[in-house]
Chain A
């Protein structure tokens, strides 16, 4: 078994005039849970279909387990796919659905029964084996679709937005179940979604995609805390963006103006003087101080007015309008220091963050 179970080298794909996928390279490691994340039309499903063999690339090569499979049909690639619509066979029972792939491979009858029953146990559907798909709930159909794919012991399981048809609570449960299943089976999962929360909570690595190319590939922590560019920063989670220019820079530090105040930050990305940049700060990294909490206004505090207070149980979301008329979002948590979080609309507040928690990105 190769450690790089799937490799895409210089792969691109057009549908007519529409360039679905720019030339991309992607390496997927054996046993990992990798997510392709992006808005609709970004090419994430195209990558999945190229790996599965349902589409052929215009350029480039695809390797699976070290072999060039670019011209192989899907049935020879030893991967399986879970479709967004589940695509269960409506005229077959759950058992027959799951056994279909094994029967196509002409596996002995008693082994088919054994393997199907084993997978039915794993996805907890043993009692429903003789039902037809239309007699199952959405979550159960979902599990049949996954069982039908993994029973073939594929090298890689491809999942095309498999949770998008489920309601919120069920989706949460299925996220946990899927992750457990992946650990249990040790199979490589390639998961496609547009839901960033889903991507962050389940994946070992996330590939953030936009308009046919990969913007960033990294661990969930990487893409959230160290976004490669503004697109990633804005797509993954919420962030406040201050557009500005570098006033002065050297190897260690960079000086920028945010809201007419001078800040000196660490220069992590080799920014140059006069370069246009964005200073981004996550809402949860912002601290909002009420007038009476601030003894002496320090240099790093931005003045503003509370415009909206959104109470969400464990957190309070604030919309603050700064003096430059810019709106920013801040999330405050209840803890020992702030038991009340009693902000009034129109109240004057001061906003700051711990230096180093900002991310400065070139435009």
Chain B
């Protein structure tokens, strides 16, 4: 019984969590088009994926949106975090609370409300609608990532800078941004991954003229799972993992600076 709880039970947990992902990775190398039976190792599906020009365009769309949304969200998020930390203004606590509200709000609600907003203001669904939606989605995550780091800094550093004659702009550009850089990078990476694999909100605010990867995958899967998708998922997984590791490393470095 002791052995069961100590070793076997946790291995079931990990099995349950990671077995499906492992199967996707394994079958992306399977030399069979519709079978769940192992027929030998191949890189065929990866070649096919890279020769599918429609798929590559869609992937490029997703990456462009991801880069732009992440850059916008991490910039706005940083400014939000810094203002929340440094200044007193009307509605400060409300703004702080609203960030968390945005994080817990179901994406379907955000998607529908954005769709309503776009149709009310006659914004065509496409590149801009998607970019705005993804930026909105990422800002709270970016702001909170940066905010949690800025609170760990010694407040008297900013007072010292001011005492030495630095203007607000100099304090921001020469002290705050360099000290927060790792956290800003982490916020950017987090936003990029959020944007890259967002399905629900994107589903509401994208138009036929500008397709993105997650929605394309979703559409393909409805016609049956092609091994090409397994290959795509494997690549996405590796990409996301690399980004997460990079973000972790950046945050670790920031922790050291903060000490």
Q: Tell whether, in the assembled complex, residue B160 and residue A81 are in contact, meaning their CB atoms are under 8 Å apart.
A: yes
Any chain A CB within 8 A of the CB of B165?
yes
Encode A24-60 as 1/0 by CB contact (under 8 A) with B: 0000000000000000000000000000101000000
A10 interfacial by beta-carbon distance below 8 Å: no
| A side interface size, CB within 8 A | 24
Interface string of A165-192 (1 = CB under 8 A from B): 0000000000000000000000000000
> Quick check: A80 and B161 within 8 Å, CB to CB?
no
B164 touches A100 (CB 8 A): yes
Contacts of B259 in A (CB 8 A): 134
Closest to A106 in B: B165
Taking CB atoms, residues of chain B closer than 8 Å to A91 are 178-179, 257
Give A79-134 interface residues, CB cut-off 8 Å to B.
79-81, 83-85, 87-91, 100-101, 104-105, 134
Interface residues on B, range: 20 to 34
A250 adjacent to chain B (CB < 8 Å): no
Instruction: Give per-residue flags for B156-168: 1 if the beta carbon is below 8 A from chain A beta carbons, else 0.
Output: 1101111111110
CB within 8 Å for A104 and B163 given contacts A87-B156, A87-B157: no
Q: How many A-B residue pairs have CB under 8 A?
A: 62
Task: Choose from B163, B174, B175, B178 the contact partner of A54 (Cβ within 8 Å).
Answer: B163
- B163 and A52 within 8 A (CB): yes
Nearest neighbor of A53 in chain B, beta-carbon distance: B163
* Minimum distance in angstroms from A29 CB to a CB of chain B: 22
Contact of A105 among B157, B165, B257 (CB under 8 A): B165
Q: A52-B163, A75-B162, A75-B165 are in contact. Are A85 and B170 (CB under 8 A)?
A: no
Binary CB contact string for chain B from 74 to 106 against chain A (1 if under 8 A, 0 otherwise): 000000000000000000000000000000000
From A73, A79, A87, contact of B160 by CB (8 A): A87
B179–chain A nearest beta-carbon distance, Å: 6
* Inter-chain contact A152/B165, CB cutoff 8 Å: yes
A211–B156 Cα distance when bound, in Å, is 24
- CB neighbours of A213 from chain B (8 A): none
Q: Does any Cβ of B come within 8 Å of A139's Cβ? A: no
- Judged by a CB distance under 8 angstroms, whether A218 is at the interface is no
Residues of A close to B163: CB separation below 8 A = 52, 54, 74-75, 79-81, 149
Q: Is A13 an interface residue (CB 8 A)?
A: no
* Least Cβ–Cβ distance between B174 and chain A, in angstroms: 8
Closest to B157 in A: A87
Give the distance in Å from the alpha carbon of A85 to the alpha carbon of B258 in the complex.
Answer: 13
* 11 A/B residue pairs, CB under 8 Å, sorted by A: A74-B162, A75-B164, A79-B163, A80-B163, A81-B159, A85-B154, A87-B159, A104-B164, A105-B165, A134-B259, A152-B165
For the complex with contacts A83-B160, A100-B161, A101-B165, 12 further pairs of A-B residues with Cβ separation under 8 Å are: A54-B159, A54-B162, A74-B162, A75-B163, A75-B166, A80-B163, A80-B164, A83-B159, A84-B156, A87-B154, A100-B174, A104-B165
Residues of A in contact with B (beta carbons under 8 Å apart): 52, 54, 73-75, 79-81, 83-85, 87-91, 100-101, 104-105, 134, 148-149, 152
